[in-house]
Chains A and B, each alone.
Chain A
Amino acid sequence: MLVINTIRNSARLTLRNAWLRNSLASRTGPTNFSRTFSLGLTLRQQDVVNVTFVRANGERIKSSGKVGDSLLDVVVNNNVDLDGFGACEGTLTCSTCHLIFKVPDYEKLPDKPGDEELDMLDLAYELTDTSRLGCQITLTKEMDGLEVQVPATINDARAA
């Protein structure tokens, strides 16, 4: 396992460096390497949106996505442990990605829910006035630090 881990870590580093170089090349053109690294990090931090999922039992799951990702993407890409989340894969035909927002956050969301989203939300458990479907929320820079409540699932009952 040690060998495996070493190889894995080096693979990860290689990938990250390659990514940083590529992203910089495409944005700012050629530049010297020492600046590359720090500027790359800055760019990266700007793109990252931190999101915390709060389960009904109070457990907080910190995660993050990029600007333009949906909250469903965040759950899928980070393997956030929410059983059954996003069953229809973001096609507005189920309500398994139901999330509850704080009132100020809800009001700040750039798009209001459409009829089709509300139709699916109507079938969700624990529906509130600030409920949305995660697949319909696209991350913006302003959402950094967002906290959303996940409706109670069977696992919360066990932990509580």
Chain B
Amino acid sequence: MLAAVNLNLAPSCWPVLPHVQNFALACERSHLALCFGLCHFSITKLSPKTNMSFTRSFVYSRHKLLNIYSCNLSTSAIKYQNVQQSTAAVKRICIVGAGPAGFYAAQYLLKQLSDCTVDIVEKLPVPFGLVRFGVAPDHPEVKNVINTFTKTAEHPRLRFFGNVTLGEDVSLQELRDRYHAVLLTYGADQDRELQLDNERQAPHVISARKFVAWYNGLPGAEQLQPDLSGRDVTIVGQGNVAVDVARMLLSPIDTLKLTDTTEYALEALARSKVERVHLVGRRGPLQAAFTIKELREMLKLPNVETCWRAADFTGIAEQVDKLQRPRRRLTELMLKSLGEQRKPRAAANGKQFLPIFLRAPKAIAANEMEFSITELQENEAAVATEASERLPADLILRSIGYKSSCADAGINFDPKRGHVCNRQGRVLKPGESDAVEPGLYVAGWLCTGPTGVILTTMNGAFAVAKTICDDIANKAVDTASAKPGFEPGSRRIVNWEGWRRIDQHESEAGKAKGKPREKIVSTEQMLRIAGV
């Protein structure tokens, strides 16, 4: 219901504060209309726009409607009156990057600071970052967080500006001048390299990040054209991205056709001749970076045999009891799978998933890759020995971690570690000093480096958002003077309404093919559908 009010009024009147009173009034009017709807099941008194949202929300039970109505709406009208009374003190916060970190931070700020407005600026015309472009298409449940993010985005004190690139369309300095606080959450769009000689020249070496972007339809990634005509793929790295990529390469194509995998990727995967995927890590089974859920999924993939190397597990079983529960359960699952494994065989249709431990990348050749055999030290670091092994590799996928890029020269960026220099989310001033930039923050992978699951990012983003609230309360951030916020000017901006048009278009296009959505990949087409 809040969305209904929001839809009707927010875009036109929210940014102009004197109109807030109208907003509150309209809220009250909607209350009335809502009561009519509830008591008599008549929604004729609502305007057509509100009507649409009403129907959408009507899937809730009456009980839930009442709940939402009584808990949220009655307070929102009061909140707006408060905002109106303290017009001068509106805190303007800008978040750069509409991924999970940005949305979770926005959610927290809007809830904790009743007198703030949040603007989210996003490089792409579409929101959700890695939830849309990173999460594997066969993990649609993980994307349910989009529902929460959408609720946040439709909050009347939030504005979305899609198709605005920091460092190109707007500078960091400009944003800092226009907002009381700026939070950078633009993530990690680069990947770590193997540091091998011909890594960049060799046509059969591509980054797993680009491969993920390719099947997920990130604008620009459709040109990748990975060569899947060979039998062997070697993935360097054993994180969950590596396992996602392995699963996409080995999954039955009919399963993938029911996901929102891009059409061009489905065509390429349908023609794929890949039969064996090697997943190579520098360290041992006890240091494996993938999580147990991802491994269990691999073990359950139809028509795919997981083949472990027994030698990798020497002495591992004896250590299981000493391990913490998560590591113990993961190791037990690997050992169980190893125990059930049959002699390697060349099945007619069967594909193979081959996790290989204690091998560090050494050299790249035409159809193979050379790895140093490593030994583990006391501190669990892997050290290369003289010995080496060659693995067949018609395609090499590099998956040893993401890193961020420096979007604006004004950011104090650590190029070595690939993230923004910060202390608990407060961006540090350049140089040796420990001083922080007042009103400049960082969260998500741009802050912590690319690790963890959505829970990690959520907690991190909440923590930084809390830091912002604390700094505002302690006057560490000056909010005395009014700030204008972002002015789109003549730029082609996709606002939330524009995204909803794209979303609807994609969902309808997907329905025809039995997919949850058919993603639009061209930025130009996105802008056209958004109507800008």
Contact = CB atoms under 8 A, between A and B. Distances in A.
Interface of A: 1, 4-5, 7-8, 10-12, 14-15, 77-79, 83-84, 87-89, 91-96, 115-116, 118-120, 122-125, 127, 153-155, 157-158
A19 B291 CA distance: 47
A24 B38 CA distance: 21
A10 B463 CA distance: 42
A8 B35 contact: yes
B309 interface: no
Interface residues of B, number: 45
A119 B293 contact: yes
Contact of A87 (B38, B292, B330, B455): B455
A7 B64 CA distance: 17
6 contacts: A1-B28, A12-B70, A77-B67, A79-B72, A83-B107, A127-B326
Interface stretch (B50-58, B117-125, B138-146, B158-166): B138-146
B67 A154 contact: no
B35 A7 contact: yes
Nearest to B144: A89
Contacts of B72: 79
A75 B107 CA distance: 17
B454 interface: yes
A95 to B, nearest CB: 6
B320 to A, nearest CB: 15
A123 B453 contact: yes
A84 B66 contact: no
A84 B35 contact: no
A19 to B, nearest CB: 8
Contact of B67 (A4, A79, A155, A157): A79
A154 B326 contact: no
A122 B325 contact: yes
B296 interface: yes
B452 to A, nearest CB: 9
Interface majority SS on B: helix, strand, loop or mixed? helix
A4 B28 contact: yes
A88 B326 contact: no
B141 A96 contact: no
Contacts of B63: 15, 77
A92 B292 CA distance: 13
Contact of B325 (A15, A92, A127): A127
B293 A120 contact: yes
Contacts of B463: 154
Nearest to A6: B35
Contacts of A119: 291-293, 296, 329
Nearest to A78: B67
A102 to B, nearest CB: 19
Nearest to A14: B39
Contact of A8 (B70, B108, B454): B70
B486 interface: no
B462 A124 contact: no
A114 to B, nearest CB: 11
Nearest to B140: A91
Q: Which of A1, A7, A87, A120 has the most CB of B within 10 A?
A: A87
A99 to B, nearest CB: 14
Given A8-B35, A83-B462, A95 B67 contact: no
Nearest to A3: B32
Contact of B71 (A11, A79, A93, A154): A79
Contacts of B466: 154-155, 157-158
Contacts of B148: 87
Given A4-B32, A154-B463, A87 B458 contact: yes
A89 B454 CA distance: 13
Nearest to A5: B74
Contacts of B74: 1, 4-5, 8
A113 B454 CA distance: 22
A120 B139 CA distance: 14
Contacts of A125: 455, 459
Interface in B395-452: none
Given A7-B32, A127-B326, A154-B466, A96 B66 contact: no
B12 interface: no
